[in-house]
Chains A and B, each alone.
Chain A
Amino acid sequence: MHDLLTGTFFWIALGICLTGMLVRFVLYFKGLSWQLDRVAYRAHPKAGLKGAVRSIYKWLIPFGTRGWQTQPFITLAFFGFHLGAVFVPLFLMGHVFFVEEKLGISLFTLSAAAGDVLSWTALAAGSLLLIRRLVLPEVRILTTWKDIMILGLSMAPFATGLLARYQVGDYGFWLNMHILCGEVLLVAIPFTKLSHVFLFFASRAQLGMDFGIKRGGMKGTKMAW
C-alpha cells in the first residue's frame, strides 16, 4: 500500500495536478478578450504589467490592502491557514526528502518545530474559517456543501500528518492516510475551487491590468487596493 501511494499514485496525482494547472492557466489567459473585457491588454503591456504585479503583491501581504485591514479576523484566519498550506507541503523536512528522492530537487527545509507550529496554526485557522462560515449570516448564505468539503479536504492532510507525527495509534496507517489525502488534494486542485491556488494569480493579474491600463493606471493613479 505504502509503495503504491508513494509510487504510481504519487506520480499520477502530481501529473494531473501540474498538467491541469498549466492547461487551465494557459486557457485563462487565452480566453481573455480585449473587446469583451474592455481592457486593451496588448496595447499597453507596461501599464498592464505594473497593475498586475501591484494587484498581486498587495494582496499577498497580510493587512496590505484596505480589504484585509477592514476585516482583521478573516485576515488572521486566512493567512494562518494559507501560511501552513503553502509552506508545510513544500518545505517540511519529510516532504523535502521525499521530493529530493523522487525528483532530485532539493529545497530549503523547515525545522520540525516550525512545521508543528504551522500545522497547528493551519488547523486552528481552518476551524475558525469553518465556524465563521456557519455563524455569520453573510457567509452562511454563500456556503454550499462543496465549500465545506473543500475546507475539510484541505485540512485533512494536516490532521492526518499530525496524527502520524505524534504516533497516535498506528503510525503507518496515519502516514498512508496522510499521503492519500495529499494526493486527493493534488488531483482536486485543477477541477475544483482549489484551482484558486493558481487562478488567484490569474484573476488578480487581470483586474490589476484593468486598473493599470484603463481605470486610472495610465493617468498615473496607483489603485489604492
Chain B
Amino acid sequence: MPEGIYCNKQTVDTPEGVNKLLSDTSGNTYYQEMEVLDVDTDLLWKTIQNTCKSRIRTWLEICAHCGMCADSCFLYEVNGKNPKQVPAYKIQSTLGEIIKRKGKVDNALMRHAMRVAWAECSCCNRCGMYCPHGIDTGIMFGYLRGLLYNQGFVPWELKIGAGMHRAYRAQMDVTDEDFVDTFEWMVEEYEDDYPGLTVPVDKQGADIMYTVNAREVKHYPEDLAEAAILFHLAGESWTVPSKGWEQTSLAMFAGDWAACKMQVESVYEAMERLTPKRMVGTECGHAHRATVIEGPYWAGRKDGQPPAPSIHYVEWLAEALNTGRLRVDPSKRIKELVTLQDSCNYIRNHGLKRATRDIMSHIVEPGFFIEMAPNKEHNYCCGGGGGFNGIGKFRKERNIALIKKRDQILETGAKLVIAPCHNCWDAIRDLEEEYEIGIRWSFLKPLLIKMLVIPDHLKPEE
C-alpha cells in the first residue's frame, strides 16, 4: 500500500506534523505522491455501509435526472453552463459512482472526485432549495469529502488546516497564550480612547462568552479590539475563554469529522467551565455553522444545541441596536450606495436574514441600501466557500467562481459591500484584486465604531 511521506491516510496531530507538511512548498510533492496513493477499497466500502444510510441513498436513487438543479448552481452558470457542472451530475459521477462500484474504485477516480468535491462545489447548499425531491447535493458533497479525507485524497491546505485544529485547536498555529496576549495588547492600544476598556478573560457567569476566528488573532487583530469596544459601549458583561476561544473549523471543509469534534468540544468545554448565559461568535459564517449548527451533532448532543445558547455576531449586533444599547449617530450613517453579502452559512443554513437587515436599517441612510438579486436564502455563494478560497491548486477555478458575486455586486451599483463573514470578505477582496471593479468591502465592526454615539460616562477625559 504505497503511502507518501506527505500524502497518506494518516492524520496530522502535532505541530511537528503540521510543519512537515508546510515544508513541502505548495504541496508539490504531496500532489505527486497522491498520484500513486492506494485506495483502501475495503475500508471505503465499510465506511459507506456504516455511514451512508436512508437519506443519501434515497437521494441518489430517486433523483429524477430532471436537471432542475442546474441553474441553481453558480458554478454551473459561471462555467458556461457546462453540463458537467450540474449538481446532480457532479455528485452522481463521484459519490454515486463510488457507491455503484461498491467502493472498488481506483486512484484516478478518487483524484477526480477530489477535484469535483473541492473545486466544483462550495457546499453552499443552494441547489437543495431548487430540487423538487429535496435533494441537497451540498450535503452529499460534505459527506463525500469525509470519505476522501479518510483515504488521503484531500487538498494539501485542508490537510494542514485539519492538522492545525488537531495540534492547536485553532485553524492556524495560534496558541492559547498568543490569543490572550494579542487580545490584551490590542485592547491596551485603545485604552486611552475608551477609558475602562478591558478584556475580561475567563470570567465566570458572564452574560456573553465571546469566541473568534484565529485569523483575527494572526492577521487582523484590530478586530479583537473592535469587538471589545463594542461590548464595552453596549455595557455588556462579557468574557473570553483562555482556552476554547476558536470557533472556526477548517476540519469541516476538509471532511475530518474527528477533528471537527475535537475542535468544537474545546469551545463547549469553555462554555461548561465559564457558564456564560450566551455565546456570541465573531463575524464568520463557517465558524458559526461549525460551532452552533453542526457542532452539537459532532459532539453527540441529542438536542442539536450547544451547551449555552449561541448566536452569531449579527444577531448580537441587531439586538444591541434594536434595544438601543448601541446607538448610531444619524449624521454618520452610510450615505452611499451599499450592498450586503448574505453568507450561506448563517442565512441559508440558519435563517438569520432579518438580523442583518435590521442592522442595515440602523447604519445606512434610508434609500442607500441596495439588495443583491437574488438575496437572502436565495443568494449565491461568494465564490470562495467551503474551503475554495484557501486551495492553491484550484485558484484558477476559484477565480472563475468569483464572477457570479462580481456580477451581482456590479448590478447593484454599490461601491461598498458589507460582508459579515470572514470567508466572504476574503472572496470579495480577492475578486476586487482579480477583476478591479472599484469596490470597497468591510466587516460590520469597523463601520459601527465610526458611527456610534459614545455615552458621556464612557468618553475619555479632555
Contacts and interface: CB of A to CB of B under 8 A. Distances in A.
A34 to B, nearest CB: 7
B351 A32 contact: no
Contacts of A29: 54
A223 B348 CA distance: 8
A77 to B, nearest CB: 10
Interface residues of A, number: 60
B194 to A, nearest CB: 32
A70 interface: yes
Contacts of B70: 138-139
A59 B89 CA distance: 22
A139 B302 contact: no
Interface of A: 27-40, 42-44, 55, 59, 66-68, 70-71, 74, 78, 133, 136-144, 147, 193, 195-196, 199-200, 202-204, 206-208, 210, 213-217, 219-221, 223-225
A143 B70 CA distance: 14
A68 B62 CA distance: 19
Interface string B348-359: 111111100000
A136 B83 CA distance: 9
Nearest to B315: A219
B156 interface: no
A158 B293 CA distance: 48
B86 A142 contact: yes
A30 B83 CA distance: 35
B62 A224 contact: no
12 contacts: A33-B53, A36-B55, A38-B294, A67-B130, A71-B71, A141-B86, A203-B58, A206-B55, A213-B304, A219-B351, A221-B351, A223-B129
The 5 closest A-B pairs by CB, nearest first: A216-B351, A221-B351, A31-B54, A40-B304, A207-B134
B219 interface: no
B59 interface: yes
Interface in B32-84: 51, 53-55, 57-59, 61-68, 70-72, 76, 81, 83-84
Given A203-B58, A203-B59, A204-B133, 5 more contacts: A38-B297, A67-B68, A193-B64, A202-B58, A214-B304
Interface of B: 51, 53-55, 57-59, 61-68, 70-72, 76, 81, 83-84, 86, 88-89, 92, 128-136, 293-294, 296-297, 300, 302-305, 348-354, 376-378
A37 to B, nearest CB: 5
B178 to A, nearest CB: 32
A39 B293 CA distance: 10
A154 to B, nearest CB: 12
Contacts of A193: 61-62, 64
A28 B54 contact: yes
Q: Which of B55, B83, B133 has the most CB of A within 10 A?
A: B55
Given A27-B54, A206-B55, A143 B65 contact: yes
Nearest to B62: A196
Contacts of A204: 133-134
B62 A200 contact: yes
A138 B69 CA distance: 10
A200 B293 contact: no
Contact of A195 (B51, B61, B88, B350): B61
Contact of A144 (B65, B72, B134, B293): B65
A55 B378 contact: no
A190 to B, nearest CB: 12
A74 B132 CA distance: 11
A19 B378 CA distance: 40
A43 B303 contact: yes
A216 B65 contact: no
Contacts of A70: 71, 130
A217 B84 CA distance: 33
B328 to A, nearest CB: 24
Contacts of B304: 34, 38-40, 43-44, 213-214
Contact of B62 (A31, A66, A203, A221): A203
A216 B67 contact: no
A138 B128 CA distance: 17
A191 to B, nearest CB: 10
Given A207-B136, A221-B354, A35 B297 contact: yes
Contact of B133 (A143, A203, A213): A203
Given A38-B294, A219-B350, A225 B129 contact: yes
Contacts of B92: 142
B128 A207 contact: yes
Contact of B55 (A27, A32, A215): A32
B300 to A, nearest CB: 7
Contacts of A31: 53-55, 57
Nearest to A202: B58
A225 B53 CA distance: 25
Nearest to A216: B351
A202 B71 CA distance: 25
Contact of A200 (B84, B133, B297): B133
Contact of A67 (B129, B293, B296, B348): B129
B68 A216 contact: no
Contact of A142 (B71, B88, B349): B88
B134 A203 contact: yes
Nearest to B355: A219
A196 B133 contact: yes
A204 B128 CA distance: 11
Given A40-B302, A142-B88, A215 B350 contact: yes
Nearest to A42: B302
A133 B68 CA distance: 11
A144 to B, nearest CB: 7
Contact of A215 (B62, B68, B351): B351
Given A71-B71, A221-B351, A221-B354, A141 B84 contact: yes
Contacts of A71: 68, 71
A177 to B, nearest CB: 26
A139 B302 CA distance: 40
Nearest to A133: B65
Contacts of B67: 136, 138-139, 142
